[in-house]
Structure 1
Amino acid sequence: MTYLAAQADSFGDLWHNLADLTVSGLTQGSIYALIALGYTLVYGVLQLINFAHSEVFLVGTFGSIVVWGWLGYASGDGGGVPGLGMVILLLAVGVIVAALISGGTAVLIERVAYRPLRRKNAPRLIFLITAIGASVAIAEFVGVLTDRKPVGVPALVSPTTQWQIDPRDIGLDIQPVNITNLQIGIVLSAVLMWFALDSFLNRTKFGLGIRSVAQNEDTAALMGVNKDRVIMLTFLLGGLAAGVAAVLYNLKIGTVTFNIGFLLGLKAFTAAVLGGIGNLRGALLGGLLLGLAENWGAGFFGSEWMNAVAFVVLIVILMFRPTGLLGDSLGRARA
């Protein structure tokens, strides 16, 4: 009876905080989705899991912090939140720098680590080991530079309530939720970035080249598509999305460490697989669903179970949909 009472209390807590957990889940899931875009792009073209992509995201987080510091806005400087015009400028500069650094790192990884292996027709296992090695090497390099200590993010955006939803107005016993400007910005940024990439792939000549290589690289080569350039572009696009995710993560969390890429990378990869790895729309859907599952699970079981719930949900869904929710590759399944 005690167990049943405890479960009833857990469900009551989840229901009571459902609105707040949902908004938090969509916000966190948007960051997962942006990182997942890189995994899904590379897999769609090369059938390769680029586990170094988590560190592509990592360097973007530190890149934006460094440039903000150079501009006079470092964490703990006591300067307070800057004016709106300066905030927009700082965010624009931070996003551009983080995207360029992450994109450049992704291209460098492709040129140094993967391209020589492709030319030697190395087994897939070697690619996987190389990806893990590159991931650890980059994380440790950042760890040395930061003395393995947390690095604070300047308070550029002060979260303020923009919209309040009160389910009690329609008779639901759910606590009201205050949606902040930061939460709205994170979700909109993820959707806009996904839309830009999806439009690029489906409406441009370069996107056609990526889709042709994803579908059949030999036929694409016969049609005059430069495979190496397409692959480099694919890594670059994934890196740019990771750079945007890095800035959003900085603003949301407020502190970063040299090893943040590991768990975030796993979750973003989980989101890509959940939605259907190789499918951009699947990456967005998978990220949002994973964020919701985490937060709802934390509301029911407790925050200490958040990570476990996310991966259990993945296993359960893949038992019934082995290719994920929306298919598997850029060339074959673009639902």
Structure 2
Amino acid sequence: MDGIFLQQMVNGLTLGSVYGLIAIGYTMVYGIIGMINFAHGEVYMVSAYLAAIGLAVLSFFGVESFPFLILGTLIFTLVVTGVYGVVIERIAYKPLRSSTRLAPLISAIGMSLILQNYVQLSQGARQQGVPTLLEGALRLTVGSGFVQLTYTKLFILAAAFVGMAVLTYLIQYTTLGRMCRAVQQDRKMASILGVNTDRIISSVFIIGAAMAALAGVLITMNYGTFDFYAGFIIGIKAFTAAVLGGIGSLPGAMLGGLILGVSESQFASMANSDFKDVFSFSLLVLILIFRPQGLLGRPHVTKV
């Protein structure tokens, strides 16, 4: 039992770190403009296809070394996915900033459907796959069982940690980060003080898309398969992670992702794994009912 519990902990932390990376996109956009980007799950889905394309192109040109292969794929995927983030912001959000909250929500759902059908028509509806890039595993004996740590899972955990550390440094210690925090606190005052709010909002969409791209590369490495519908379920789960941790809080997004990933993995080991999605969505409902501000979020206060 100990071995099974620890193995599921490893699986949950791996999955949760990916949820956390995607949740960052939700929480950053909400923190800046107060809207939920429901097309964000499809940005992750697009990045999975881009990762496969990048790997295929590099392999075609004879790149076989794992560091160069993954680095080239990451750079290509991050750049192109960032462009998708900007396009989504310019088309689905920028024209509707001064409208009611319902209009951008409907626009984002429409953009999500557009991306799904665009990928389905251009890449096909069949499930796609990539070969295993990092072979091997560590096996640790625990009691009467063992825990297996594949090199792929270790790489995913390390890459997610580095990605979160770089983002934290960017937000806390750079000029761009200070401007992002200023726009988040008071967009009108930041604009009066000379901050280009349009550029900051576009930058936030780029950063969020880049985090989703990193998650897309990592989860493609882990599972090896994906399809045009892959962004819907994982997007909702990442949104659940963002709400759990506290929408608008970057540490909360990663914490919520880890908690959701571990809880889901443990639930799958104790009950039927077919119901793990039901568990995730039930958790979202409970959070919205009993603690809508999340674990690290602050209650919304209306100034009068």
Which TM-score bucket, shorter chain as reference? Answer: over 0.9
Q: Are residue 127 (structure 1) and residue 104 (structure 2) matched?
A: yes
Q: Tell me what 2:132 maps to.
A: 155
| 1:238-257 CA-partner distances (Å, limit 9, x unpaired) | 01111111110110111110
Q: Is the contact made by 1:59 and 1:101 (CA closer than 8 Å) also made in structure 2?
A: no
Structure 1 alignment gaps of length 5 or more = 1-12, 330-335
Aligned counterpart for 2:179 among listed residues 209, 218, 224:
209
* Distance in structure 2 (CA, Å) of the matches to 1:235 and 1:201: 14
Aligned residues, how many?
A: 299
Tell me how far 1:39 sits from its aligned partner.
0.5
Aligned counterpart for 2:39 among listed residues 46, 52, 76:
52
Q: Tell me what 2:72 maps to.
A: 93
CA RMSD of aligned residues (A): 1.9
Q: Tell me what 2:159 maps to.
A: 189
* Distance in structure 1 (CA, Å) of the matches to 2:9 and 2:54: 33
Q: How does 1:1-335 map to 2 (within 5 A)?
A: 17-72=4-59, 86-118=65-97, 121-158=98-135, 160-162=136-138, 164-168=139-143, 175-328=145-298
* Distance in structure 2 (CA, Å) of the matches to 1:194 and 1:315: 27
The alignment's TM-score, normalised by the length of structure 2, stands at 0.93
Q: Is the contact made by 1:31 and 1:287 (CA closer than 8 Å) also made in structure 2?
A: yes
Moved over 6 A (4+): none
- Higher mean C-alpha displacement, 314-323 vs 293-302: 314-323
Structure 2 alignment gaps of length 5 or more = 300-304
* Distance in structure 2 (CA, Å) of the matches to 1:62 and 1:113: 22
Q: Is the contact made by 2:245 and 2:295 (CA closer than 8 Å) also made in structure 1?
A: yes
Are residues 137 and 183 of structure 1, via their aligned partners in 2, closer, same or farther at CA, if it must alter by over 3 Å?
Answer: same
Are residues 321 and 144 of structure 1, via their aligned partners in 2, closer, same or farther at CA, if it must alter by over 3 Å?
Answer: same
Tell me how far 1:320 sits from its aligned partner.
3.8
Whichever of the two has the greater Rg, that structure is 1
Tell me how far 1:194 sits from its aligned partner.
1.1
Identical amino acids, percent of aligned pairs? 38
